[in-house]
Structure 1
Amino acid sequence: MRKKGEIALEYGFDPSTLAEDDLDPVGKTARQFGISIGLANERKMDEADFIIANLTPFRGISADVGTAFEVGYMRAQGKPVFAYTNTDRDYFTRLSADYYAGAQPEVIDGVARGADGLMIENHDMVDNLMLDTAAEESGGAFVVGAVAADADLLGDLQAFRDCLAAARAYWDARTS
């Protein structure tokens, strides 16, 4: 996060700090501390002009659920959503290849379904359709990087930089 903050400054943005940096867990249960982090994150988003969300798959085939919440929270406030991912494998590919272990979906009435009968989204989108929609329809962007599978998928910062460049162009166009 420190490195990302330094890079954001290079692009002329004042990055938010981690919400938990300002919190003291002493005297709180784990649940109470977790709730205080969630509320602090909401306050940070209320103060922010836009979000840059890392939607690289995290502990599964899709983006981190907390980050997905943050994207929705910012979109609901009418703020631009800029997102990036370090994988160029679309959601359908990850869902069919990884979750369904490569088993070919059955197409029923034009809808692809997994062995469990559930629909397999195939909308030619990077992640869940709500995340792609939030970025594109908010005036932001969804940047797709292509980090090799054997590289640092979560730590590579090129797509983050590209996302910052898109955000910079967005804000420069609004002020000129």
Structure 2
Amino acid sequence: MAAMKVYLAGPDVFLKNGREVIAAKQELTRRYGFVPNVWMGEDDAPHSTPFAFGLHISAANEAVMRDSDFIIANLTPFRGISADVGTAYELGFMVAHGKPAFGYSNDGRLYAERLTADYYKGAVAKADDGMMRGPDGLMVENNDMGDNLMLDGGIEHMGGVFIRRSVAPEHLLDDLGPFEECLAAARARLLGVAA
């Protein structure tokens, strides 16, 4: 039986050390018995316009996802309090195609904690309707989940796990400990191989 292909989703490509992080993830993925499936053909993309370039990358990533058996998504908050929006799309794409999904975050806090502390700076209060709301009147949802309930829900419904660990702040986007935990969980659930 051929080794399972895993789509490695996340904002790693945007990091200053992105190529090194991606290479390290690919090596760990092989060590756990999976084939890393990531499109790295940026140099082959048409550069006629930035929009054409973006469409090419989008189509190429969707083709790689269709060719993958499951996904591991880096859901560490990126440029805000939630996961990278492109990664969230990719997670949803894979779940919609019925493929197992796993996720991790290098910020161990729940979404409601980040929303309250980081976005609203603690300025939330119970409103007349009994809901916790920010000063803008928007509800502060709290489902005891790591991110938006659709991300946690998709992973859970596809039999995966969402691993959350707090790492050193200076390594928030490149610490691979929680990623490796995800690989071990995927190996146990998909291949029946314990750690």
Gaps of 5+ in 1: none
Count how many residue pairs are aligned between Structure 1 and Structure 2.
172
Q: Stretches of 4+ moved more than 2 A in 1?
A: 17-26, 104-110
| Partner Cα separation in structure 2 for residue 135 and residue 128 of structure 1 | 11
Q: Alignment RMSD, CA only?
A: 1.5
Q: Provide the secondary structure at the position in 2 that maps to 1:15.
A: strand
Q: CA deviation at 1:100?
A: 0.7
| Partner Cα separation in structure 2 for residue 99 and residue 18 of structure 1 | 33
**1:10 is the counterpart of 2:31:** yes
Give 1:88-167 correspondences, 5 Å limit. Answer: 88-149=108-169, 151-167=170-186
Cα gap change, 1:114 to 1:42, in 2 (>3 Å): same
Mapped contact 2:94–2:100 kept (Cα < 8 A): yes
Q: CA deviation at 1:31?
A: 0.3
Q: CA deviation at 1:19?
A: 4.6
Q: CA deviation at 1:144?
A: 0.9
**1:173 is the counterpart of 2:192:** yes
Mapped contact 1:23–1:37 kept (Cα < 8 A): no
Q: TM-score, normalised by structure 2?
A: 0.84
Mapped contact 1:19–1:41 kept (Cα < 8 A): no
| Partner Cα separation in structure 2 for residue 42 and residue 59 of structure 1 | 23
Q: TM-score, normalised by structure 1?
A: 0.92
Q: What is the one-letter code of the residue matched to 1:15?
A: P
Q: What is the one-letter code of the residue matched to 1:81?
A: A
Q: Which residue in 2 is equivalent to 1:56?
A: 76
**1:72 is the counterpart of 2:89:** no
Identical residues among aligned pairs (%): 53
Gaps of 5+ in 2: 1-21
Q: CA deviation at 1:22?
A: 6.5
